C-alpha cells in the first residue's frame, strides 16, 4: 500500500493554519526553511531540522542536569522529593499498588513501544499517510536519546527499595523515562488526531486525554517509589520541549510543501488519489 503526504485539510487545526507564522521568529524560521528546501527535498529538510532540534534538546537535557546538581542537597534529594514520596506511601493500598503497577508497565519500554507502534500503524493505514510513521520515529528516537543522556550525566540513585513497590528498578533515576516518553508519544498522537478532527469539542477531549495520560504516568512513578518527584518534573519539561520541536519541524515541512505548490513545483509524489477528482 502506498503512503502519501498530508492533505490540505490536515494543514489546519480548526481555524489555525499550521503554515502561518505570525511571530517574527516564526516568520524567520519559515523563510529559512523555504530557502533551504531549494537545495534539498522537503523530507530531507524535515530530518535535518529534527537532527538540529535533537541536538538542542539533548543539550537542554545536559543543562537541566547541571541545574539539578546545583539545587540538590548533599544526599541527592531536593526539598520536594521526600515529602512527595512520603505522601505516596501514605496513600498506598494493595489494590492501588496493583493498578498503578499495571498502568506504569504500559509506559515502560515494552508497553509504550507496543502502544506507539499499534496506534501509529493504525493511523498510517487508515489515513494512507506516511506522516504518523515519520514523526513517531523521529519523536521516539529523540526521546530515548534525551533519557539516556540524562541518566548518564546525573547517575542519580532511585528511592530506597524499602520505600518502593516491587518489581524494583536499578537504572539511574534522573530523568524519568516513563514520564518523558509518555509526554512525547501521547502528545504526538494527540497532534496527529486533532488535525483531522473538525469539532472543537473533539479536539479538546483528545488533548485532555493525552495530558491526563502523561500526568498519570508521571505520578504513578512517584506513587510506586520508582522515581523522585523532580525526576518526573524535569522529564515532563524535557518531553514538552522535544514535542514542541518535532511539531515545529513538521509545520515547517508543511510550509515548504505549500510554498512549492504555490510556485508550481510541488513536492514529488504530492498527487494524492485520496483527494483527486474522480469525475
Report which DSSP code applies to 39: S
The pLDDT value given to residue 91 = 94
Indicate the average pLDDT of the chain.
84
What the chain holds in terms of domains, given with CATH numbers, is 17-262 (1.20.144)
Computed from CA positions of residues 13, 16, 17, 19, in that sequence, does the dihedral angle turn out positive or negative? negative
- pLDDT exceeds cutoff 80 at 25: yes
- pLDDT exceeds cutoff 70 at 196: yes
Which range, of 54-63, 183-192, 230-239, averages the lowest pLDDT?
A: 54-63
The pLDDT value given to residue 2 = 80
For the segment 50-66, the average pLDDT, to the nearest whole number, is 71
- pLDDT exceeds cutoff 50 at 279: no
- pLDDT exceeds cutoff 80 at 137: yes
pTM: 0.86
The pLDDT value given to residue 85 = 92
- pLDDT exceeds cutoff 70 at 273: no
The pLDDT value given to residue 266 = 47
For the segment 195-212, the average pLDDT, to the nearest whole number, is 95
> Which pLDDT tens digit goes with each residue over 219-265?
999 999 999 898 898 899 889 989 999 999 899 989 988 887 777 75
The pLDDT value given to residue 69 = 59
For the segment 130-146, the average pLDDT, to the nearest whole number, is 90
- pLDDT exceeds cutoff 60 at 269: no
Amino acid at each position: 500500500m502506498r503512503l502519501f503526504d498530508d492533505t490540505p485539510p490536515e494543514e489546519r487545526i480548526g481555524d489555525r493554519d499550521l503554515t502561518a507564522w505570525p511571530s517574527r521568529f516564526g516568520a524567520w524560521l519559515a523563510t529559512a526553511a523555504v530557502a533551504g528546501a531549494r537545495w534539498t527535498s522537503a523530507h530531507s529538510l524535515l530530518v535535518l531540522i529534527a537532527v538540529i532540534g535533537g541536538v538542542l534538546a539533548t543539550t537542554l537535557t545536559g543543562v537541566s542536569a547541571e541545574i539539578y546538581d546545583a539545587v540538590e542537597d548533599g544526599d541527592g534529594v531536593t526539598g520536594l522529593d521526600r515529602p512527595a514520596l512520603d505522601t505516596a506511601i501514605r496513600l498506598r493500598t494493595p489494590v492501588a499498588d496493583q493498578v498503578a503497577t499495571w498502568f506504569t508497565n504500559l509506559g515502560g519500554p515494552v508497553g509504550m513501544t507496543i502502544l506507539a507502534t499499534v496506534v501509529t500503524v493504525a493511523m498510517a493505514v487508515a489515513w494512507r499517510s506516511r506522516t504518523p510513521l515519520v514523526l513517531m520515529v523521529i519523536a521516539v528516537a529523540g526521546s530515548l536519546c534525551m533519557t539516556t543522556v540524562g541518566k548518564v550525566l546525573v547517575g542519580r540513585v532511585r528511592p530506597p527499595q524499602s520505600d518502593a513497590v516491587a518489581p524494583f528498578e536499578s537504572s539511574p533515576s534522573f530523568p524519568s523515562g516513563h514520564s518523558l516518553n509518555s509526554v512525547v508519544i501521547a502528545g504526538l498522537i494527540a497532534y496527529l488526531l486533532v488535525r483531522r478532527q473538525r469539532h472543537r469539542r473533539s479536539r479538546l477531549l483528545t488533548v485532555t486525554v493525552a495530558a491526563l495520560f502523561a500526568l498519570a504516568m508521571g505520578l504513578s512513578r512517584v506513587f510506586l517509589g520508582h522515581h523522585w518527584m523532580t525526576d518526573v518534573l524535569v522529564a515532563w519539561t524535557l518531553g514538552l520541549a522535544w514535542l514542541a520541536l518535532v511539531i515545529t519541524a513538521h509545520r515547517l515541512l508543511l510550509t515548504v510543501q505549500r510554498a512549492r505548490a504555490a510556485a508550481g513545483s510541488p513536492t514529488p509524489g504530492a498527487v494524492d488519489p485520496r483527494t483527486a477528482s474522480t469525475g
